[in-house]
């Protein structure tokens, strides 16, 4: 509906969550498949405090960019240290928001060596990378916050065991990408929906309903500088993508070097995003980088595996900062990788 050219039927994240909650309450009321259904008020509260953290972080990133640009033009003396502070400011924003919402008992952050146990009566544990890809900020390249949510185990008052679980046990996951605008992609275990922050309204607006990735797309996204450090089979697979089929085109290479931005493009356009083991070691963190992205990807009709072709969400970390290899994206493309590794 439009009033003088203005759409008036927009759906905000808050109203979307309430709508979903009602839908699941009536539709699946004894199946227990969605947290939205089980945890009526608490999940809404948690998502609200997450929204606040994302807006707050988005605002700080924009400010920091400006301060830095002015610094570059010589008006303010900006140092590398100031830039580093942004990581820790955003980490603090996230942690304070999670500590004060009353829903969270365990917080794992990329910026914190140990898990943080919160004294609350909440039912959830959260893992996060407050600003992933921060080395890109100076160039104005998009960075993002990645998060995964677990329901704490029955009887638990919050411990490491609540997060050292298989990725299948996550109840919600998402990321916010801070680009020209802030984009939030969210799954509560039932498809993926995308929201865009309208800074005038201060609200995340539903812009991508039930996102579904194309099954095939000839794009690959990988740091090819590591080729000589990959297992040779993997280098062969990537090499194969450059060999165009008769009358066709080879795969296009697209690599930003900021996981949220590379995954975001993959969610929208399809293709393959990969960070294989380099010299035998994965780089990306299982709990707050691989798991949330794998869950989003699968819920958007994609697929996510490690170098061996094992499903990412079937893995269980032994440590909170454990690293893994990852291949995610279009179902058909990732299946080609899995089949290739089986055959050769």
- By beta-carbon proximity to Mg ion, the closer residue of 179 and 214 is 179
State yes or no: residue 134 binds ligand AHM (CB under 6 A): yes
- By beta-carbon proximity to Mg ion, the closer residue of 20 and 129 is 129
Q: Kindly state the smallest distance separating residue 64's Cβ from ligand AHM, in Å.
A: 15
- By beta-carbon proximity to ligand AHM, the closer residue of 125 and 222 is 222
- Strands (E) located in 158-229: 170-178, 182-187, 193-198, 203-208, 219-221
State yes or no: residue 307 binds Mg ion (CB under 5 A): no
> Which listed range, 98-106, 236-244, 251-259, 264-272, lies at the site for ligand AHM (CB under 6 A)?
251-259
- How long, in residues, is the chain? 344
> Which listed range, 5-13, 58-66, 256-264, 304-312, lies at the site for ligand AHM (CB under 6 A)?
256-264
- By beta-carbon proximity to ligand AHM, the closer residue of 258 and 299 is 258
Among 140, 232, 240, 257, binds ligand AHM (CB under 6 A): 257
Count of residues in contact with Mg ion, rule CB under 5 A: 2
- If DSSP codes are grouped into helix, strand and coil, which group holds residue 232? helix
Query: Nearest 10 degrees: CA dihedral of 99, 101, 105, 106?
Result: -50
Placement of tokens 């094992």 in the chain: 310
> Which listed range, 11-19, 48-56, 67-75, 130-138, lies at the site for ligand AHM (CB under 6 A)?
130-138
Q: Strand 272-275 vs strand 302-305: parallel, antiparallel, or unpaired?
A: unpaired
State yes or no: residue 132 binds Mg ion (CB under 5 A): yes
Query: CA angle, corner 146, sides to 21 and 15, nearest 5?
Result: 25
Placement of tokens 């898990």 in the chain: 115
- By beta-carbon proximity to Mg ion, the closer residue of 103 and 304 is 304
Which residue number is nearest to Mg ion in terms of Cβ? 132
Quote the tokens at residue 86. Answer: 């942004």
HSE of 172 in the Cβ direction (CA atoms, 13 Å)? 24
Q: Which does 193 bind (CB under 5 to 8 A by kind): ligand AHM, Mg ion, none?
A: none
Q: Strand 104-109 vs strand 116-117: parallel, antiparallel, or unpaired?
A: antiparallel
- As a whole number of angstroms, the distance between CA 267 and CA 265 comes to 5
- Residue 21 sits at φ, ψ, to 5 deg, of -55, -45
Among 37, 188, 258, 324, binds ligand AHM (CB under 6 A): 258
Residues at the interface with ligand AHM (CB under 6 A): 110, 129, 132-134, 223, 257-259, 262, 275, 283
């Amino acid at each position: 509906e439009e009033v003088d050219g203005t759409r008036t039927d927009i759906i905000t994240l808050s109203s979307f969550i309430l709508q979903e909650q009602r839908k699941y309450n009536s539709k699946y009321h004894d199946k227990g498949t969605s947290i939205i259904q089980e945890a009526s008020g608490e999940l809404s509260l948690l998502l609200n405090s997450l929204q606040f953290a994302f807006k707050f972080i988005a605002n700080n990133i924009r400010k920091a960019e400006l301060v830095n640009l002015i610094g570059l033009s010589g008006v303010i003396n900006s140092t590398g240290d100031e830039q580093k502070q942004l990581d820790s400011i955003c980490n603090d924003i996230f942690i304070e928001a999670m500590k004060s919402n009353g829903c969270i008992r365990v917080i794992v952050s990329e910026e914190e060596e140990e898990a943080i146990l919160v004294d609350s009566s909440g039912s959830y544990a959260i893992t996060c990378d407050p600003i992933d890809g921060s080395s890109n900020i100076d160039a104005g390249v998009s960075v993002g916050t990645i998060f995964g949510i677990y329901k704490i185990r029955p009887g638990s008052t919050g411990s490491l065991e609540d997060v050292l679980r298989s990725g299948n046990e996550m109840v919600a996951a998402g990321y916010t990408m801070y680009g020209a605008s802030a984009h939030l992609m969210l799954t509560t275990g039932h498809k993926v929906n995308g929201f865009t922050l309208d800074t005038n309204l201060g609200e995340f607006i539903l812009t991508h309903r039930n996102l579904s990735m194309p099954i095939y797309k000839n794009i690959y996204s990988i740091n090819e500088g590591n080729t000589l450090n990959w297992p040779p089979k993997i280098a062969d697979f990537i090499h194969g993508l450059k060999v165009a089929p008769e009358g066709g085109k080879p795969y296009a290479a697209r690599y930003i070097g900021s996981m949220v931005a590379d995954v975001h493009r993959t969610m929208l356009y399809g293709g393959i995003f990969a960070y294989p083991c380099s010299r035998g070691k994965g780089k990306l963190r299982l709990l707050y980088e691989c798991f949330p992205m794998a869950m989003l990807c699968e819920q958007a009709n994609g697929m996510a595996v490690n170098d061996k072709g094992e499903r990412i969400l079937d893995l269980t970390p032994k440590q909170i900062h454990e690293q893994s290899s990852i291949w995610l994206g279009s179902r058909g493309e990732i299946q080609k990788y899995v089949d290739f590794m089986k055959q050769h």
